[in-house]
Structure 1
Amino acid sequence: MKENSAGSDTQHSRTHSILRVDSFASALTQESRRPRQEKSEAEKRLVRKLDRRLMLWAFFGYFANGLDRNNMPNAYTNGMDTELNLASDKYNWAITMFFIGYIILQIPANAIITKVRPSIMLPGVVFVWGAIVCFMALVKNYQGLYGLRICLGFSEAAFYPGIVFLLGSWYSREELGTRTAVFVAGSQVSGAFSGLISGAIASGLDGVHGMRGWKWLFIIEGLLAVVIGFCGFFLLPDFPHNTRFIVGEERDLAIERLERQGKKTLSTGLNLTTFRNLLTTPYVWLFLFTFICFQEGMGILQNFPIILSKLGYSSSFANYMMVPIWVWVAVVLVVQGWLSDRYGKRAWHILAGSAWTLLWYVVLVAVDGGKSPIVLVFVAAYMIPPIFGASPIMMTWLNEIYQNDSETRALAIAIVNSLGNLAPNFINIKAWIVTDAPDFRTGKIVTMSMTALTLVLIGITYYLEQNKILLPKVHQRITTTDEEKKKDIREVV
């Protein structure tokens, strides 16, 4: 009788586990429809601590990332074009070399981030890429620039997807959109400061100690990344189950509030569920092509200093004009992220931002056959930023769709970001050729078309999610008692 009783208890436990798996998608849907609950004081303190440490460092880390990745237009207008002979498409190839290195290491880097301490890995890569940018001031020809741009891509590969994954490992769905937007805004703010720094260098440091302004640009911005990377070793958390400065009841709260929304907080290792979720569900591929379209949608601002320079304005003026534009982009981006948290339905916020941007690209192409007057170009520069805000909202949505398996979520983020960044740069080699400036008619047409495609892709993704078609599956190993959960945590730590 005792054996039968024990067998009955075991069978009941297994049945309970299966029921939890089967009800996973339903629980997530119900959670998303519940009204907002007021946070306890303990939870508010936890979020404030995360904001002071994780968000603060992530913002400034991406600030440095934006400076060091996107300083090529500013360097180009500060003498690099003539000293390194960057005529024709050589400049665009220098941009693309970065993304060749970026894609090679990004997916492997995010595959291992669930197994290492982000508080060491992520600050380390910031420190290394800062040093590489400083060395770029020593190159003598465009071949040397190509080599260091590839190395820069290697070193930066882990940062963006790693931070997006880490944010998704700490913040709830009511917090994640805003935080992801604030993080990404660091890169936009860097665009503003890059213009100020470049303008100051062009007018004050160009020729000092026999070095042109572009070399000073690389040295100053590279050293800033080195300092930020060093600070990260003391600020950044790891995961809820193993962060040294979050322990006891606060650690339990950090884990419980995410599990309450169905988010997987512990790594289970690569398994068949991981590969099935990536290869047989359409979401990662839909997000990938959407991300490619987003990157193309940003083309006009990425080439704005070159447009102004080719129209006869000084390099200082061209760089200074980017300051208010990038500040405006950052504001729009954070507002969009907050609205998506406040009202939910990420897809509708992406569709609205993309449609608005598409309208202005249609105007740029239609007016005077693409030879837009300078006033219209300035107005459009302030009107298209919603496409920038759509990108972090999409990454938040990706974090949520793949929340039931840590490995799947990490790899999905890396696939979307790496391949999504690589493809546009090969497209831009022929779409945004520097010698086509200031009109860039081909670039405008390509960008307009791909922004229109965004609307179709997001509509398909939203339809599939709402109808629960081919949603990612939860890993079958499910703990049913508090003791089993504690055992899992001890094994990971």
Structure 2
Amino acid sequence: MASLDRHLDSDARVPATEKDGDSKHSTASALPEVRYQDQATQQQSWLGYLWDTADLGPKERRLLLKVDASLLVFASLGYFIKNLDQSNIQNAFFAGMEEDLEMFGNQLVHATSFWTAGYVVGQVPINILLTRAPPQIVIPTLELLWGFVTLATYSVRDVRSLHALRFFVGLFESGFYPGMQYILASWYTPRELGKRTTLFWASGSLGTMFSGFLQTAAYERLNGVNGIAGWRWLLIIDAIVTLPIAVLGFAFLPNHPWSKRPSFWLNAEEVALARARMKAIGRKGREPWTQAKFHRTFTDWRIYVLPFQYIIGYNAGVQSPMQYWMKSFNATPPPVPGVSWTVAQIQLYPLPTTAIFAVAAIIAAWLSDGPAKGRRWPFLLFGGVFGLIMDIVWLKMPLYTNIGGHLAYFWLIMLGAASGALSLNWVSEICSDDNELRAITVALSNDLAYVVTAVAPNFVWKTTAFPRALEGYHWSIGMQILSLLWTFLILRLLWRDRQKLRAMQGL
């Protein structure tokens, strides 16, 4: 039977009576005493609400400082680079690639789908590999490989070459986000995890935003230098930024807490403390794959139900019409005489959307870790309701009147998605009692979300349907409603499991 919620006020799970996976590193005699309280009962100071380490003892504060300085910093830099590389194609498309490679019709969507196909192939195998192999080797190696392929992309001369290279960029990037989600949840408690995964997640949004600045600079200052178009310079610069970050990962990214020596930063006492903290919240280490283990993992409702929470929520968001809408003013004849947008404006005006989104995501995480006592689901419900309202508003808005109102709408369009990082936190915490189940379920969540992303845009988010994108917005409305219903389904299943546990305990 699946392990159950720690108590009614927390989404973390506790193990039954199973031993920790790697017993030689988890014996009670080797573990120091840890001052740890459940999220729902812990009293937090005002400073602790701002940053959780303020309420910890000096040994835990020192441990978290070291882990934050290595794991969190590398994760954030790596995800910044990943999203910089991921978003460069769309920015390049609007700055000359469309014309140079004759990417007319739905070619941009097809290029994205090839990247997504590669991304889908690698996620689950890499996350399973991470339960056995050192993350310090696996993740930076993948990052090096996608940096080299990004560099090669600058030289493409036709759409077919672009598609092939985008597939491999996606393949090598596939292990980073689910892998880092799995690794972060191996080091942090529920009070700490939401803030850190959201900072990690928000760094990717900053990478998306920075790509717009970078493309604008490349277009204005490097376009034509050495006979190379500005959009090609963007890809070269992306690769130059990516490669040294990957090299740093070999030194700074820590391995699992149950590894013999997770990091050169940590001494033996700190390693034991890290393991004790995870044991205190029921987060299990590595276990061997036995027949019983295999049966338990793949007959657990969580591996089948939880991924759909993320899949639905991820695909409920809209593809912003902003750049398509701005570019449509430049058509001949113009829809609004006398109003047009420059290439720089089309690149830069969407950037506040990402900045607002990042700030909102961080606020949601702080509230979830702090006043909400580790609960994730209220923020997921809010995101679904907000997204549903914004979808309906767009369908009612006239397309070319009230330009200021349109800009405000586009800048606020992603607020509903600000709780997205908490969705995978919820998955990780619900699966705390089984390390391999946690790794697979997190990877499946992200992987299958991208499977839908690889297919759906070709039917509902067609390039030629923008800026209005009626089919896409109707799709989003349906997915937002389904995401709300699925959240309630998970809450019902968790309540059922708690009732079963209480009955077994005679409570």
- Which bracket does the TM-score occupy, shorter chain normalised? 0.7 to 0.9
Aligned to 2:74: 57
Equivalent residue, structure 2, for 1:365: 395
Give the corresponding residue for 1:5. none
| CA pair 458-407 structure 1, distance change in 2 beyond 3 A | same
- Greater relative contact order (Cα < 8 A, sep 6+): 2
Deviations 1:10-45 (A, max 9, x none): xxxxxxxx98359xxxxxxx9453324741110011
2:140 is aligned with 1:123: yes
Deviations 1:219-241 (A, max 9, x none): 11122111111111111111113
Equivalence for 1:449:
478
1:339-381 deviation per Cα after TM superposition (whole angstroms, max 9, x unaligned): 111113211111012211211111111334x778543432222
Aligned-partner Cα distance in 2 for 1:255–1:403? 14
Letter in 1 for 2:228: M
Helix, strand or coil for the counterpart of 1:70? helix
Deviation, structure 1 residue 471: 9.9
Taking only aligned residues, the RMSD between alpha carbons, in angstroms, comes to 2.3
Please state if 1:307 is matched with 2:304: no
- 1:196 equivalent in alignment to 2:226: no
Whole-angstrom CA distance in 1 between matches of 2:456 and 2:113:
10
Distance change (3 Å), C-alpha of 1:19 and 1:464? closer
Alignment counterpart, residue 262 of structure 1, candidates 266, 271, 282: 282
Give the match for residue 440 of structure 1. 469
Aligned counterpart for 1:345 among listed residues 375, 382, 385: 375
| Count of aligned pairs | 445
Superposed, 1:268-283 pairs within 5 Å as 268-272=287-291, 274-276=293-295, 278-283=297-302
Once the two structures are TM-superposed, the CA of residue 278 in structure 1 deviates from its matched residue by 4.8
- Residue 20 of structure 1 aligns with which residue? 17
1:102-251 aligned at under 5 Å gives the runs 102-242=119-259, 243-245=262-264, 246-251=266-271
Letter aligned with residue 391 of structure 2: Y
Q: Distance in 2 between matches of 1:289 and 1:421?
A: 12
Matched, 1:418 2:439: no
Name the structure 2 match of 1:354: 384
Q: Deviations over 1:416-455 (max 9, x none)?
A: 1111112123101121211222222222221222122111
- Measure the CA separation in 1 of the matches of 2:145 and 2:83: 15
1:308-359: CA deviation from partner (whole Å, max 9, x where unpaired): 2233322211111122221111111111111111113211111012211211
Work out whether 1:387 is the aligned partner of 2:416. Answer: yes
SS at match of 1:20: coil
The question of whether the paired residues in 1 share the 8 Å contact of 2:252 and 2:263 is answered with no
User: Mind listing any 5+ residue stretches in structure 2 that lack a counterpart?
Assistant: 1-14, 20-36, 45-54, 331-340, 502-507
Note closer, same or farther for the CA distance 1:326–1:289 as it changes in structure 2 (3 Å cut): same
Larger displacement relative to structure 2 (274-283 or 41-50): 274-283
Q: Secondary structure at the match of 2:154?
A: helix
For residue 465 of structure 1, the aligned residue among 468, 483, 494 is 494
Q: TM-score, normalised by structure 1?
A: 0.85
The equivalent residue for 2:305 is 286
Alpha carbons of 1:72 and 1:254: their partners in 2 closer, same or farther (altered >3 Å)?
A: same
Pick the aligned partner of 1:297 from 316, 328, 335: 316
TM-score, normalization by structure 2: 0.83
Q: Which runs of 5+ in 1 are unaligned?
A: 1-17, 23-29, 473-493
What is the 5 A alignment of 1:33-48?
Answer: 33-36=40-43, 38-48=55-65
Q: Does 2:404 correspond to 1:375?
A: yes
Q: 1:140 corresponds to which letter in structure 2?
A: R
**Partners of 1:353 and 1:386 within 8 A in 2:** yes
Cα pair 2:353 2:413 within 8 Å, conserved: no
CA distance in 2, matches of 1:324, 1:185: 14
| Aligned match of 1:405 | 434
Mapped pair 1:319 → 2:347: yes
Output the CA distance in 1 between the equivalents of 2:430 and 2:390.
31
The one-letter code of the counterpart of 2:486 is L
What do residues 245-287 of structure 1 show as CA deviations (whole Å, max 9, x unaligned)?
22321111111111111111x2113344554455333334433
Look up the match of 2:100. 83
Matched residues in 1 for 2:498 and 2:400: separation? 45
